[in-house]
Structure 1
Amino acid sequence: MNPKKLLLLTALACALAAAYYLDVGQYLNLSYFKAQQAEINNYVAANHIASLALFFVIYVAVTALSIPGAALMTLVAGALFGLLEGLVLVSFASTLGATLAMLVSRTLLRDSIQQRFADAFKTVNAGIEKEGALYLFTLRLVPVVPFFVINLVMGLTNMPARTFFWVSQVGMLAGTAVYVNAGTQIANIDSLSGILSPQLMGSFVLLGLFPLLAKRAMEMVKRRQVYKAYPKPKQFDEDLVVLGAGSGGLVTAYIAAMVKAKVTLIEKHQMGGDCLNTGCVPSKALIRSGKFMADVNRSADLGFRAANVEFDFADVMQRVQRVVQTIEPHDSIERYTGLGVNVVQGEGKITSPYTVEVNGHTITARNIVVATGARPFVPPIKGIEHIDYLTSDNVWNLQQQPKRLIVLGGGPIGCELTQSFARLGSKVTQVEMLPRLMTKEDEDVSLAVQQRFVNEGVDVRLNHRALEFVVRDGEKVLICENLCSQSKDKTVEIPFDEVLVAVGRAANTSGFGLEELGIETNANGTLAVNEYLQTRYPNIYAVGDVVGPYQFTHTSAHQAWYAAVNALFGKFKKFKVDYSVIPWATFTEPEVARVGINEQEAKQQGINYEVTRFDVAELDRAIADEEAHGFVKVLTAAGSDKILGATIVGEQAGDLIAEYVMAMKHKIGLNKILGTIHIYPTLAEMNKYAAGEWKKARKPEGLLGWVEAFFRWQRRDERGALATEPRRYGSLGVQAGSTTQIGNDKGAELVSD
């Protein structure tokens, strides 16, 4: 233990022991004071200043040590020093004592408690940072919450001590005044129940509601201020207007239609957005074709002497478009019109918080949801404007396979397309400025993907910064800087036929009225929203890639539920969007899937964790499928089976991570996963085996030693000696000392001496 903590703990223990030994409690009751009141009054009259100082010290000590009696001492202050002097005395003494108690709690308990309950305290600390002063002020005004509990609990949070001090000072002032004033009439009070009457407690509760009512009033004032330039229509055409028919917009409109709200969905380009047309769907179709070619190239591993495939790249790209067209009806105008959504094709513009203009027509709406998505970000590299570069938007238009392809970017999109084109026969060079691929994942995950790329012939250039594109004698060249080169000239030239820019995505926030309304954006270019997904105008919401923080299709759909419900029913109940369990996958081979935090994030956040790892090479089904590569890595809270995060690297990782998503969402630990039957032989068994590794590392060695001794004792004969005669096992014919497997099921028991 930290020496300072040990010293503080020792001092605290001594102080409490002294209080117990001196039986301080006998002095902190009303009957004792009333019996001694005349004598105490005489002492105070003769030693007024000393009495004030002594009372101050005792009050601070009682509150700092969380000893019951603060309410009585407040009454006594009124009786001894009068209303004004007693109020000032108790106000400062109680605040100082409470702050000391808070600091003691913080010093001794905060770090360990926050580490143990890290997930819960993320939310708590966020709330304290944003509105902690209001929370504390409310608690101080409501005396039904124990005084000392507030001090100790606030010590576990990240509230600054100075904030705690001044809010406590102000918040306790009204209650202190009531108690001190009651103390001036102490002769008429026979017990503390006299001061804690239902009428008085009711008054305190109403007083405690004041800051909440004040907050609501302030919200109304702000609302009027932000809307003052925009008169509210007397009636509305729609309950909801949605801009953008990607995942977020479609789900928002769907939910609104299902609850019988009138909703208009506006899309200027293609229904389904990026996911259907240029993102998830076409990329997965291309990845599947690439995987087939990879399987052909390793046919010997599957028992075939040779396998050859003839194909035309244009046919592969036609298949990609066929897949898109097959899924298209799921997101079509016809489907959503049939659901009751008014779908309008055109470019919508928000002209006020209540109006949207599209195709020359103005629609009035009670609420607006912005779901305009994002676009590929193109960095300002010198000469890029002279290159007919590709992005994830237009790469699907290719009909001729690039012989030499450069992929700029080592994130999920860049990695998926790098491997797909390489497997189809392009000579791919992947250029990444950072030291490794997929930097949001742990280093061992990045290395597993990088090694597969290298094995499949990809030229991976890490620590390479793109400087300039040039064309020499009709040949396109990328000039890079090798950030790790030790030579004077760090430039590297890479000739290419096509370049694919995949360095990230930028939110679509301009061109449809947000700037004119003064709706703010974050530093990364996404729209600024609160925890309810509201912009500065409470009736304008935003979801999906345009707002972040995760640019995934499933996250957009997740946000859409909150936006739709809050917009339509927010006057009754609003819901804060929940990002606590967000999974994602990168569909390379090996596939990478994750939910929760990984090791690098746990270290950055100072979370005390334990890591369990299972090697997929040991899994029977993976061996049978010739996919015995990758691993499962699970982070758990120290000393617990609570799952903080899980990463799967290997075949079908994106599907297999679902078990951990469910477990984290519903707070299921590794013990229950271990106790769940999984079909043999399947890849899903890797999750159970990972739980088994966690359990095996924590087996009770001491207890097992005693159990071993017990079994040894049971094997002794009547004379107390170990049996040494050969034992027969009936029809099995197995003698002691030999070992055989009973049955042929996986995990069959071994019969052994």
Structure 2
Amino acid sequence: MNRIETDLCIIGAGSGGLSLAAAAAQMGARTVLVEGAEMGGDCLNTGCVPSKALIAAAKRAQAMRMGRRFGVTPVDPEVSYADAMAHVRSAIETIAPHDSQARFEGLGVHVIRDWARFTGPDEVATGHHRIAARRFVVATGSRPFVPPIEGLSDTPFLTNETLFVQSDRPEHLLVIGAGPVGLEMAQAHHRLGCRVTVIEAMTALGGEDPELAAIVLERLRSEGVEIRENTAVERVSGSAGAIRLETSAGIVSGSHLLVAAGRVPATEGLGLEVAGVEHDRRGIRVGADLRSSNRRIYAIGDVAGGAQFTHVAGYHAGVLARAILFGLPARAKGGHIPRAIYTDPELAQVGLTEAQARQRYRDSVEVIRVPYSDNDRSVAEARTEGLIKVMVHRGRPVGASIVGAQAGELVGTWALLIANGLKMKAIANTVLPYPTVSEINKKAAGAYFSSRLFDTPWVKKTVGLVQRYFP
């Protein structure tokens, strides 16, 4: 068995692992990257990239149905599900070279394509290597959670890991779970010509602002997606093409089943106990410095037990780059991390929701509301369905919730302000091109200041004095 001694060993070649490996190798640290599956991890191969590519195909189909108000005769599109999935694979293949083994070896990273397990507190083993490192970073991500429903293990079902290799369109897709993944795929498949039924044991989009979530759910239902909330799946049975769900509200039958019931950290087989790394079902326990109970071992991204987003893994990689490569104090924070759900309309959030802000700041928080119908570009494009809410405390935004077209793009402005502790005047002072949807952010800032300018007696008195006595 080949023995390798290195400065840094990273386990997992997803977003976080790749980002850290590239930085470390290019800055002179001896770096080993171990990956037993596909380079690029879940995001490239079975998550963000393929799902957004399929959503893009579905949007094209939906646009053909929605042209009447623009003077375009709507048509029911002829959809090739196989070709839509070919577009998905093309998107993956286009991006894959950026995450490839060859590219990272070109950067100076020693890439080992195998599964790794700790054999001690300062060593890991793969099939043919033993790796001793000064520091280890676990970046293994997460995997789909398969709930312990009776009969599920004996019934054919899909997860995001198997969905995108399908080429035959499901006649009736059943979806367990009305979270982001479940609803994104439900809407996309319905727009591509599938009948879709979503089963949710609790409340659909239960972690989001309920007012904004209701707008998303109303749209999906109006398009024909059936969403059954507060309905538990008690038993699953059937075979390929004929799936039967026994639920608390009756029997539901369909042709295919997608399980989108959340994700769990990928810690199996890592030998964390041998390495003295504390972990539980939520992942590896780390502090704000992302260090585990073994000071040599860090964890980033989904496996670290926090928010499960690709951009969080990338952020964690940046935090560790400062700490590991330069020896600088660096701590991960969470209050400035945005998230987005790519349904149509999109739903995005950064910082505190309205309920969270009111609970924390009580009466000292202001909630600014601006509907999309107040934005000229949205009116011109007939995309007035939506709303932005900004939570402000002492002149600084502490949260922003957006539902509507391009919400995932618009939330970036508020993420910038919150991350840097900027005040509302920063966006109020910004000049934006007209007409753009992004002006809705500035309109929110204007709404915040207008109440102070137009409804304050001393302002009117001052203006009156200036007009009277100053030439």
TM-score (norm 1): 0.60
Q: Distance in 2 between matches of 1:577 and 1:473?
A: 45
Q: Distance in 2 between matches of 1:532 and 1:430?
A: 39
Q: 1:617 to 1:511 in 2, by over 3 A?
A: same
Does the 8 Å CA contact 1:526/1:547 hold for their aligned counterparts? Answer: yes
Match of 1:502 in 2: 260
2:350 aligned with 1:595: yes
2:167 aligned with 1:409: no
Match of 2:211 in 1: 444
Q: Distance in 2 between matches of 1:294 and 1:410?
A: 21
Q: Distance in 2 between matches of 1:548 and 1:466?
A: 27
Per mean C-alpha deviation after superposition, the further-off stretch among 348-357 and 333-342 is 348-357
How far 1:286 moved relative to its partner? 0.4
Which one of the candidate residues 273, 283, 303 is aligned to 1:546? Answer: 303
Does the 8 Å CA contact 1:369/1:563 hold for their aligned counterparts? Answer: no
Does the 8 Å CA contact 1:542/1:563 hold for their aligned counterparts? Answer: no
Match of 2:244 in 1: 477
How far 1:307 moved relative to its partner? 3.5
Does the 8 Å CA contact 2:209/2:353 hold for their aligned counterparts? Answer: yes
Give the letter for the 2:42 counterpart: D
Q: Deviations over 1:247-291 (max 9, x none)?
A: 111011111112111101011010000000000000000010111
Q: Distance in 1 between matches of 2:216 and 2:333?
A: 31
Q: Distance in 2 between matches of 1:525 and 1:643?
A: 30
Does the 8 Å CA contact 1:616/1:622 hold for their aligned counterparts? Answer: yes
Q: Distance in 1 between matches of 2:65 and 2:241?
A: 34
Give the structure with the larger helix fraction: 1
Q: Deviations over 1:529-575 (max 9, x none)?
A: 122111111111111111131111111011112223323444xx332
Q: Deviations over 1:12-33 (max 9, x none)?
A: xxxxxxxxxxxxxxxxxxxxxx
Q: Distance in 2 between matches of 1:712 and 1:287?
A: 57
How far 1:712 moved relative to its partner? 9.5
Show the 5 A alignment for 1:166-181: none
Report the 3-state secondary structure (helix = DSSP H, G, I; strand = E; otherwise coil) of the residue aligned with 1:648.
Answer: strand
Q: 1:262 to 1:712 in 2, by over 3 A?
A: closer
Give the structure with the larger strand fraction: 2
Q: 1:354 to 1:609 in 2, by over 3 A?
A: same
Which one of the candidate residues 384, 406, 430 is aligned to 1:628? Answer: 384
Report the 3-state secondary structure (helix = DSSP H, G, I; strand = E; otherwise coil) of the residue aligned with 2:367.
Answer: strand
2:329 aligned with 1:574: yes
Which one of the candidate residues 300, 303, 310 is aligned to 2:68? Answer: 300
Does the 8 Å CA contact 2:61/2:79 hold for their aligned counterparts? Answer: no
Tell me which structure has the larger Cα radius of gyration. 1
Q: 1:465 to 1:605 in 2, by over 3 A?
A: farther
Match of 1:557 in 2: 314
Per mean C-alpha deviation after superposition, the further-off stretch among 281-290 and 670-679 is 670-679
Q: Distance in 2 between matches of 1:502 and 1:603?
A: 31
Does the 8 Å CA contact 1:375/1:505 hold for their aligned counterparts? Answer: yes
2:426 aligned with 1:658: no
Give the letter for the 2:13 counterpart: A
Match of 1:421 in 2: 189
Give the letter for the 1:517 counterpart: A
Q: Distance in 1 between matches of 2:287 and 2:261?
A: 28
Q: Distance in 1 between matches of 2:437 and 2:216?
A: 19
Match of 1:584 in 2: 339
Show the 5 A alignment for 1:152-191: none
Match of 1:309 in 2: 77
Show the 5 A alignment for 1:15-34: none
Match of 1:642 in 2: 396
How far 1:236 moved relative to its partner? 7.1
Does the 8 Å CA contact 1:236/1:366 hold for their aligned counterparts? Answer: no
Does the 8 Å CA contact 2:57/2:84 hold for their aligned counterparts? Answer: yes
Q: Which consecutive residues of structure 2, in runs of 5 or more, have no partner in the other structure?
A: none
2:33 aligned with 1:278: no
Give the letter for the 1:611 counterpart: V
Q: 1:353 to 1:474 in 2, by over 3 A?
A: closer
Report the 3-state secondary structure (helix = DSSP H, G, I; strand = E; otherwise coil) of the residue aligned with 2:201.
Answer: coil
Q: Distance in 2 between matches of 1:414 and 1:474?
A: 20
2:383 aligned with 1:616: no
Report the 3-state secondary structure (helix = DSSP H, G, I; strand = E; otherwise coil) of the residue aligned with 1:656.
Answer: helix
Q: 1:474 to 1:299 in 2, by over 3 A?
A: closer
Number of positions where the alignment pairs a residue of Structure 1 with one of Structure 2: 465
Does the 8 Å CA contact 1:616/1:631 hold for their aligned counterparts? Answer: yes
Match of 1:333 in 2: 101
Q: Distance in 2 between matches of 1:629 and 1:566?
A: 44
Q: Deviations over 1:95-144 (max 9, x none)?
A: xxxxxxxxxxxxxxxxxxxxxxxxxxxxxxxxxxxxxxxxxxxxxxxxxx
Give the letter for the 1:439 counterpart: G
Give the letter for the 1:497 counterpart: S
Q: 1:393 to 1:479 in 2, by over 3 A?
A: same
Match of 2:31 in 1: 263
Q: Distance in 1 between matches of 2:463 and 2:330?
A: 55
Q: Deviations over 1:394-413 (max 9, x none)?
A: 00111111111111111111
Per mean C-alpha deviation after superposition, the further-off stretch among 351-360 and 422-431 is 351-360
Q: Which consecutive residues of structure 1, in runs of 5 or more, have no partner in the other structure?
A: 1-234, 482-490, 715-753
2:230 aligned with 1:463: yes
How far 1:472 moved relative to its partner? 9.7
Q: Deviations over 1:50-71 (max 9, x none)?
A: xxxxxxxxxxxxxxxxxxxxxx
Give the letter for the 2:437 counterpart: L
Give the letter for the 1:688 counterpart: K
How far 1:604 moved relative to its partner? 4.3
Report the 3-state secondary structure (helix = DSSP H, G, I; strand = E; otherwise coil) of the residue aligned with 1:291.
Answer: helix
Does the 8 Å CA contact 1:238/1:364 hold for their aligned counterparts? Answer: yes
Match of 1:10 in 2: none
Give the letter for the 1:547 counterpart: A
Q: 1:236 to 1:378 in 2, by over 3 A?
A: closer
Q: 1:290 to 1:558 in 2, by over 3 A?
A: same
Q: 1:517 to 1:713 in 2, by over 3 A?
A: closer
Does the 8 Å CA contact 1:529/1:542 hold for their aligned counterparts? Answer: yes
Report the 3-state secondary structure (helix = DSSP H, G, I; strand = E; otherwise coil) of the residue aligned with 1:478.
Answer: strand
Q: Deviations over 1:437-495 (max 9, x none)?
A: 211211111100110011100111011111111349984221111xxxxxxxxx41111
TM-score (norm 2): 0.94
Does the 8 Å CA contact 1:239/1:568 hold for their aligned counterparts? Answer: no
